[in-house]
């Protein structure tokens, strides 16, 4: 009886959340609302931000930047990864360079991108593109290199041209790797955009969190943090769901723990 | 049945002198770390395989029989000697030489259904969809996968996957089938069924088959001629046995067992020779 109850997510998940909110409330009682605003105070802060429309706008702005930079970065990274993976001559030169530059965190580029692209949208989108580019490229590259030789050989002996092998064998076989890459890149994109918005922006969730310190509105900071968690969670679930539905035949499988 | 007759008529046309495989003094070597010294994987292979023949390459693991098969397939380049199909020198893969790999999982396309896998070569040739369907239907039936057309390889058993591989290459109507231990990863019962069906399909389609195996019984059940390879490096073909028995073959017949013993003692002698040079 208790065993089956513990395996029911409709029981365990709400209990967990109730416990977390309770612990949060205790923290609020101990340290006071300036340090830890409780659930009720945070909800009131959120209501304020919802009423003047700023929360919805900030979430929209941050999401737009992440989505645009992530989509553009992926579109650029996939063909690059395929070329680097497929052409040995390019890979020999590109790989050491890639392995050097991918260790520079996106946030480290903020100041440089501000100088290059200005304080407008371009610098933020460029930053997200950078954050996306290397993850997707490295995953695509790994995918191309992991295509079994037998698959390429069998296609070749069935008369496929090199171009047909790329389109009908290498790309489908690499799809799960590409998908993992773009899904991971979504996470890094959120990290990068919050950093960028804290340093140089007048809008966005990062700006909200950073700006709230001026008014000592810890409750707004909490609202920003919770919004980020929800945004990341929902987009990841959405991307995962789309991947499962559209790319099932390529071997993209669910990583959602609930389905286990 | 009419489909089968037309297939065999088709293959009889192929089974002429034009796809005789001629191998002369074929070598595969690699340079050693020490300059000047060359290591041969296979050395001075001479073979003539006639069109329509079921030819078995039998040898211990690692003797270079797969290397020889990969050279014939055009996947691996030879270091010396001649290799011709008909009059044509072979140096790269070609449609007329189909390959059935040992591992179906690594060679089938898991993102395609059984039918799409079977139609792959035809699609690469840009054959219209209706025509592709007729051909894939015929070969899916031939290998006994009727009703499984829309399944993905991951939904099939090991034996069924090898059937897909067989249908996939047969759909391209190759003259030559190169098979690299295709039943090596199957359980004994499935292997036995697949062996029976392969010799049946071979008789119906009349393709030239080069079949690599390390299993003497399998070689005797399938092969018209069996070439025995010595242990590598410097692997050669030491003997060629004719198997003058009708299909389907019965492993319990005295003639079968006598040949089995002969080949077995051949390997035993070589092993002893290797231990006491």
Model confidence pLDDT, tens digit, residues B90-117: 889 988 899 999 999 999 999 999 999 9
What's the CA gap between A11 and A33, in Å, rounded? 31
Q: Which of A164, A173, A251 lies nearest to residue B124, judging by beta carbons?
A: A164
What's the CA gap between A251 and A172, in Å, rounded? 10
- Model ipTM value: 0.85
DSSP readout, B259-276? Answer: HHHHHHHHHHHHHHHHH-
Q: What integer is the mean pLDDT of B71-86?
A: 90
What's the CA gap between B229 and B59, in Å, rounded? 5
Q: What is the mean pLDDT of chain B?
A: 86
Tokens standing for A235?
Answer: 């987009």
Burial class of residue A88 (count of CB atoms within 10 Å of its CB; 0-12, 13-18, 19+): exposed
What's the CA gap between A96 and A98, in Å, rounded? 5
Q: What pLDDT, in 10s, does the model give residues B149-192?
A: 999 999 999 889 999 999 999 999 999 999 999 998 888 888 89
- How close A73 comes to chain B (CA, Å)? 26
Q: What integer is the mean pLDDT of B44-67?
A: 89
Q: What is the DSSP letter of A170?
A: I
DSSP readout, B79-134? Answer: SEEEEEETTEE--S--TTEEEE-S-HHHHS-TTS-HHHHHTHHHHHTT--HHHHHH
What's the CA gap between B227 and B57, in Å, rounded? 5
Q: What is the pTM of this model?
A: 0.83
Q: Under CATH, which number does the domain A48-259 receive?
A: 1.10.3720.10
What's the CA gap between A188 and A119, in Å, rounded? 21
Q: Which residues of B touch A173 (CB under 8 A)?
A: 109, 111
Provide residues of B within 8 Å CB-CB of chain A.
Answer: 73-75, 93-95, 97-99, 101, 103, 106-107, 109-112, 120-121, 123-125, 152, 168-169, 172
CB B11 within 8 A of CB B170: no
Q: Which backbone phi and psi does A77 adopt, to 5 degrees?
A: -75, -35
Read off the pLDDT band of B206 (50, 70, 90).
Answer: confident
- What per-residue confidence (pLDDT) applies to A247? 87
Q: Which of B74, B111, B124 lies nearest to residue A250, judging by beta carbons?
A: B111
**Quick count: other Cβ atoms within 10 Å of Cβ B245?**
16
**Token pair 């460029």 in the structure block, residue:** A126
Question: Is B14's pLDDT higher than 50?
Answer: no
Q: Which residues of A touch B103 (CB under 8 A)?
A: 150
Q: Which of B95, B106, B123 lies nearest to residue A151, judging by beta carbons?
A: B106
For chains A and B, count residue pairs whose Cβ atoms are closer than 8 Å: 69
Q: What is the DSSP letter of B235?
A: B
Put simply, the answer to whether A150 touches B121 (Cβ < 8 Å) is no
- What per-residue confidence (pLDDT) applies to B211? 95
- What per-residue confidence (pLDDT) applies to B10? 41
Q: In chain B, what is the straight-line distance between the N-terminal and C-terminal CA atoms, in Å?
A: 56
- What per-residue confidence (pLDDT) applies to B273? 62
Closest-CA residue of A relative to B97 is A157
- What per-residue confidence (pLDDT) applies to B5? 40
Q: Which of A206-215, B52-61, B229-238 is predicted least confidently?
A: B229-238
Q: What integer is the mean pLDDT of B103-132?
A: 94
- What per-residue confidence (pLDDT) applies to B60? 85
Cβ-proximal residues to A253 (8 Å cutoff; 6+ apart), any chain: A244
Residue whose C-alpha is closest to residue B120's, from B193, B66, B169: B169
Put simply, the answer to whether B168 touches A158 (Cβ < 8 Å) is yes
- What per-residue confidence (pLDDT) applies to A255? 54
Tell me the CATH architecture of domain B2-96+174-275.
Answer: 3-Layer(aba) Sandwich (3.40)
Closest-CA residue of A relative to B121 is A158
Q: Could you read off the pLDDT tens digit of each residue along chain A, which spans 260 residues?
A: 556 777 787 888 889 999 999 999 999 999 988 889 989 889 999 998 999 989 999 999 999 999 999 999 999 999 999 999 999 999 999 888 888 888 888 888 888 998 999 888 899 999 999 999 999 999 999 999 999 999 999 999 999 999 999 999 999 999 999 999 999 999 899 989 998 899 888 899 999 999 998 988 999 999 999 999 999 999 999 998 988 888 888 888 755 443 33
Put simply, the answer to whether A150 touches B101 (Cβ < 8 Å) is yes
- What per-residue confidence (pLDDT) applies to A99? 85
Read off the pLDDT band of B3 (50, 70, 90).
Answer: very low
* Higher-pLDDT residue of B237, B225: B225
In a mutagenesis test of the B interface, which of A146, A147, A154 is the best target, namely the one with the most B β-carbons within 10 Å?
A154
- What per-residue confidence (pLDDT) applies to B274? 55
Q: In chain A, what is the straight-line distance between the N-terminal and C-terminal CA atoms, in Å?
A: 20
């Amino acid at each position: 009886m208790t065993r089956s109850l513990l395996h029911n997510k409709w029981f365990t998940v709400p209990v967990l959340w109730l416990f977390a909110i309770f612990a949060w409330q205790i923290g609020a009682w101990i340290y006071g609302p300036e340090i830890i605003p409780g659930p009720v105070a945070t909800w009131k802060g959120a209501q304020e931000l919802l009423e003047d429309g700023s929360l919805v706008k900030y979430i929209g702005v941050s999401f737009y930047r992440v989505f645009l930079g992530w989509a553009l970065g992926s579109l650029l990274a996939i063909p690059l990864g395929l070329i680097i993976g497929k052409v040995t001559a390019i890979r020999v030169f590109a790989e050491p360079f890639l392995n050097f530059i991918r260790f520079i965190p996106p946030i480290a580029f903020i100041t440089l991108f501000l100088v290059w692209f200005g304080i407008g949208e371009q610098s933020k989108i460029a930053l997200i593109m950078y954050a996306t580019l290397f993850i997707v490229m490295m995953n695509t590259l790994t995918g191309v290199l992991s295509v079994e030789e037998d698959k390429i050989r069998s296609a070749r002996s069935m008369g496929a041209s090199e171009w047909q092998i790329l389109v009908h064998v290498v790309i489908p076989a690499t799809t799960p790797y590409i998908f993992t890459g773009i899904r991971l890149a979504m996470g890094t994109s959120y990290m990068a955009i919050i950093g960028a918005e804290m340093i140089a922006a007048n809008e966005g969730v990062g700006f909200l969190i950073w700006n709230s310190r001026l008014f000592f509105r810890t409750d707004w900071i909490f609202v920003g943090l919770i919004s980020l968690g929800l945004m990341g969670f929902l987009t990841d679930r959405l991307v995962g769901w789309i991947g499962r539905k559209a790319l099932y035949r390529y071997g993209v499988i669910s990583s959602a723990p609930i389905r286990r | 049945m009419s489909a089968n007759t037309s297939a065999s008529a088709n293959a009889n046309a192929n089974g002429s002198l034009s796809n005789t495989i001629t191998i002369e003094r074929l070598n595969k070597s690699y340079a050693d770390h020490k300059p000047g010294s060359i290591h041969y994987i296979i050395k001075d292979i001479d073979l003539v395989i006639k069109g329509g023949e079921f030819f078995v390459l039998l040898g211990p693991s690692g003797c270079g029989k797969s290397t020889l098969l990969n050279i014939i397939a055009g996947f691996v380049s030879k270091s010396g000697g001649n290799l011709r199909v008909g009059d044509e020198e072979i140096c790269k893969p070609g449609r007329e030489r189909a390959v059935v790999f040992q591992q179906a999982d690594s060679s089938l396309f898991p993102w395609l259904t059984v039918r799409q896998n079977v139609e792959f070569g035809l699609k690469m040739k840009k054959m219209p969809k209706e025509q592709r369907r007729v051909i894939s239907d015929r070969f899916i039936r031939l290998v006994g996968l009727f009703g499984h057309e829309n399944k993905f390889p991951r939904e099939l058993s090991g034996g069924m996957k090898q059937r897909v591989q067989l249908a996939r290459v047969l759909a391209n109507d190759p003259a030559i089938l190169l098979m690299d231990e295709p039943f090596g990863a199957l359980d004994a019962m499935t292997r036995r069924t697949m062996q029976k069906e392969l010799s049946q399909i071979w008789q119906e389609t009349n393709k030239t088959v080069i079949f690599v195996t390390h299993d003497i019984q399998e070689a005797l059940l399938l092969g018209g001629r069996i070439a025995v390879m010595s242990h590598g490096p410097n692997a050669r073909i030491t003997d060629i046995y004719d198997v003058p028995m009708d299909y389907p073959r019965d492993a319990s017949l005295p003639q079968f067992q006598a040949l089995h013993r002969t080949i077995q003692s051949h390997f035993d002698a070589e092993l002893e020779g290797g231990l006491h040079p």
